[in-house]
Structure 1
Amino acid sequence: MQRNSSTSKPSSVLLDVWLLTHLTTNLLDGMLRELAITADEFGLYSLLNELGPTTPTQVARWTGMAPTTVSGMVRRFTARGHLAQVANPEDARSRLIGLTDEGRRVARDGNARLAEVMPDILGALEPHAAATHLGLRRLDRALRTLVGAADRPDQPLPGESGEPGSDAGQLTAAQQREVQQYIRWIRHRDATSS
């Protein structure tokens, strides 16, 4: 389909994210095909490899994935011998999931494959690679607030400290949602009064 430049306008941030999601998935799926895992699966391998055992419920909170999606991935990883489940010492009703040695090997192999393309990606972003990464983290924080997802499980980037929501006096998720609702109300009020 040919683009109609006379009626086109800049895309929204969410359309950009949607396009980037599919381009990234396509790139990762191709790079990970020989490991017989998908881009989405690799994300969970990476999360568990970085953070160690956690509950499926916490994975759903961190990622925004539906609990049924997490359960399906847990079943597939377990069937491959890449995931082990152990009793949760803090809650007898739940289980912790963590990568086996073979699962950690898959995560390492996937990371090695991605390391091959990272110089090209970072080079294309220069001299704005750090600012782009920080911008993505800000977008991540905004989306987490809007959907009620848990805070990121990893450490803030340099430059993230001191921003709203990242200091010691940060708002709770409920407070952040309330602030976002107020912002939307102000924008609606101002748009209708113009």
Structure 2
Amino acid sequence: MSDAEPGLRERKRRATRLAIQQAALRIAIEDGLQAVTVDEISRRADVSPRTFFNYFPNKEGALLGDDPTLPDDDARAAFVAGGPKGDLLADLGTLLVNATRELVEERGLIAERQQVLRAAPELFSRRMESMKEFQAEVERAVGERIAGQLPDPVALRRHARLAALVALAALRHAWWEWSDAAGDTHLVDELERSFAELDALVSRSLV
């Protein structure tokens, strides 16, 4: 695993967040979306409504789960400045690893969430919109990094969008591999592996 094992408090926080998501999805599957309320989610997850709101702003948030977002800190600044390795795609991989460290997921939730989203077009649309926002975040970060190399704004936009789409494709690949894998693998590790494989493809060193 790439990062250190979380402490007891962090494990409890993740377990509570996971329990809330599990409860919300199972209510939706078993009883329909109209049965999903904050009170019922809280009851099934064995938390108070106040605790629920410490984790999610509303019931839709619990159903949709967490979307990645770029870290607005030293990791993003290092990327924009040209680091940490000096290779755009490899550095994007590092940035996305930082973005996904806080994602709390359980393989068993993936199929349940997909089932709920297929039955709820409005939730599916919200998920797609949030992913578009994340893509725009990645594009902005890439654009800031390469702006000095591409003074033409059209070329800058095209290059930034292409790099973002390639990076997000690698993220999806890692997600699929992780969700399909047996054993105690971690999303961060799969993401690192996917970007290493992408680098091999790009450099034509794949055998």
State TM-score, norm by structure 1: 0.28
Compute the TM-score of the two structures, normalised by the length of structure 2: 0.27
Q: Which has the higher strand share?
A: 1
Indicate the structure (1 or 2) with the bigger Cα radius of gyration.
1
Structure of greater relative contact order (alpha carbons < 8 Å, 6+ residues apart): 2
